Amino acid sequence: MSESRKSPLHKEIHRRRTFGIISHPDAGKTTLTEKLLLFGGSIRTAGAVKSNKVTKSVTSDFMDIERQRGISVATSVMSFEYQGQLINILDTPGHKDFAEDTYRTLTAVDSVILVIDSVKGVEEQTERLMQVCRMRNIPVIIFVNKLDREGRNPFELMDELEDKLAIGVRPLTWPINMGQQFRGVYNLHERNIYLFQPGKNVVENDRLLIDDLDDPRLDKELPSDAAQLREDVALIEGIYDKLNVDEYRAGNLAPVFFGSALNNFGVRELLETFVTIAPPPAPRETDSRSVEPHEDKFSGFVFKIHANLDPRHRDRIAFLRVCSGMFQKDKFFRHVRNGKEIRFSRPYNFMAESKRIVEYAFPGDVVGLFDKGDLKIGDTLTEGEEFMFQGIPSFAPEMFKELVSTDPMKSKQLDKGIRQLAEEGLAQLFIQEQGRRKIIGTVGELQFEVIQYRLTHEYHALCRFQPLAYSKACWITSDDPQAIKAFTRYRDRQIAYDKDENPVYLAESKWMLQSMIKDNPEIQFHFTSAFKTENRIGDSVA
């Protein structure tokens, strides 16, 4: 189709690039996000994260606890334009205790930038995140960060990337020394050298343009490093094939860039290559068919919910990924799960904590929807067709604590707060009928700290957590209603109900769980609340 005959929808779709930034904690992910925004003209200066403390609030870390701890604990959504493309960035938590939020966010992106610390190399959380990308065939670009520090040999890093991440790699830039001797990066595609000037925290444009590596200016500018650079480049060209964009978009090959996000170095090469090769919005699978972005009718799904994004207004925002057609302000859409028509008069797009109302949104865009409690993570909105988007992950909690109010006068605030935080996906809430005891299930200890902080500061509900001896939460179903009734009656001390009133068996040990499965064949035990898509636990542990 010629450019002149392309529809407005087609043009809007093909100029969008929606990606997530992922990494192990403290690899420099949030700093890189800010430098990308700096290049896009969305911010004038960038924050700095030093010694795990934020000296100037980082744009994408908008929660108070994030500013205090110097870590990201929630996904931030930001948009900017660059070279005619509309870039949507989803900056994700790096800490493993908040991996649930990251995994759900990966369902809403079309590609990923993976940040690697050049000093530490591939770390445990990096491998886990990459496994999710590989499972979904998400295209990945790798940015090796912190070249201004004494790090690993770049060839060793390349081998480790291939080995531990199980993906082919192709360097597109190459470092000229590192640490105190770091001189810059060589752009293997453009054949120019970007000379490093330490301490410059602005958008750089100065480059040494050369026709080839035999250019005598190279020896003049880099008298101690020119010979090594020539040797490295010759080895790279001999070992690695040329970049195959189709292999990259299929998730089989990762382009690699080197730089220092803190010093805003090497980011331009990354961004300009990204807008050139990163895929536009892709089709999405539903329970009945594949939905193409170019379809006329709108569809989208909710992948994240956040309460009190602006504590002054007590707002609750649902983050929706547009998958097809055009989202319109004030237009009625079908809420597939509850069968109702719903419209939104204040849809937003974001620049971290700031937001503005939008009239339209297109496939690839992430829209913030003001929600009164109607939406849940995984919900699908359409223009009438009945289908549900697939692939939103559910998680089985691994740690359990009782939530205890320390101020009886604030019990209503505590109840409201913990229910809203549970709906965000921050943790899972279980209620035991005897005493209406609130049990919180998480996958990591740090989640309890964040929950307590937010309950105290956002809902003014003072509370504490009391550890419990449970080790596994298992949702139970049966074709025989009487069997469920009998099981919950005889095991009432291990039975609780989730926020949707589904019965859950809280196992105190793996041995006890195996015993329950063996002794109750008429009961099905499930890993998560996603009964229709998850395998039974008995298939794995029995």
Predicted pLDDT at 40 = 74
**Domain boundaries 399-541, corresponding CATH code:** 3.30.70.3280
Phi, psi of 210 (to 5 degrees): -135, 150
What burial letters (b/e) apply to 269-291, b meaning 16+ CB within 10 Å?
bbbbbbeebbbbbbebebeeeeb
- Among candidates 71, 86, 187, which has minimal Cα distance to 446? 71
What pLDDT score does 366 carry? Answer: 93
With H, G, I as helix, E, B as strand and everything else as coil, classify residue 174: strand
284-382 and 399-541, same CATH topology: no
Contact in structure between 91 and 21 (CB atoms under 8 Å): yes
What the block records as the tokens of 354 is: 């700031």
Find, among 239, 234, 327, the residue nearest to 13 by Cα. 327
pLDDT value of residue 310: 56
**Rounded to whole angstroms, how far apart are CA atoms 347 and 456?**
29
Residue 503, amino acid: P
C-alpha distances in angstroms, 220 versus 183, 195, 224, 409? 13, 13, 9, 75
pLDDT at position 70 is: 44
Cβ neighbours, 10 Å, residue 202: 11
d(CA 232, CA 212): 14
In contact, 156 and 127? CB cutoff 8 Å? no
CB within 8 Å of 141: residues ≥ 6 apart: 111, 112, 113, 114, 248, 254, 255, 256, 257, 270, 273, 274, 278
pLDDT at residue 113, rounded to an integer: 96
Q: In this predicted structure, what is the pLDDT of residue 476?
A: 94
DSSP per-residue letters across 136-148: HT--EEEEEE-TT
Domain locations along the chain: 7-277, 284-382, 399-541
Per-residue CA distances from 498 to 306, 427, 438 (Å): 19, 11, 10
Q: How far is the C-alpha of 447 from the C-alpha of 453, rounded, in Å?
A: 10
User: In CATH, what class is 7-277?
Assistant: alpha beta
Q: What is the DSSP letter of 121?
A: B
Element at 104 (helix H, strand E):
helix 99-105
Q: Is 352 left (phi over 0), alpha (psi -120 to 50) or beta?
A: left
Are the CB atoms for 353 and 410 separated by under 8 Å?
no
| Residue 71, pLDDT score | 41
Q: Where are the beta strands (DSSP E) in 118-277?
A: 140-145, 168-171, 173-176, 184-187, 192-195, 208-209, 253-258
Continuous H helices in 137-195: 154-165
* Length of the chain as a residue count: 542
User: Residue ranges of the chain with pLDDT lower than 50?
Assistant: 1-4, 46-62, 65-74, 95, 202-203, 352, 532-542
User: Token pair for residue 294?
Assistant: 């170019």
Q: Each residue of 175-191: pLDDT tens digit? A: 999 998 898 899 998 88
pLDDT digits (tens, 9 = 90+) for 73-114: 345 778 888 989 999 998 776 545 556 777 888 899 999 999
- The fold for domain 284-382 equals Elongation Factor Tu (Ef-tu); domain 3 (2.40.30)
The CA distances from residue 146 to 116, 172, 266, 398, 488, in Å, are 9, 17, 10, 34, 55
Backbone angles phi, psi at 342, to 5 degrees: -145, 145
Nearest CA among 521, 487, 519, 486 for reference residue 506: 487
Q: How far apart are CA 33 and CA 31, in angstroms?
A: 5
- Measure CA 29 to chain center: 11
CA–CA separation, 23 and 37 (whole Å)? 18
| Secondary structure element (H or E) that encloses residue 514, with its range | helix 510-519
Give pLDDT, residue 384: 95
Round to whole Å and give the CA distance between 449 and 430: 18
Cα atoms in the 13 Å half-sphere on the side-chain side of 315: 15
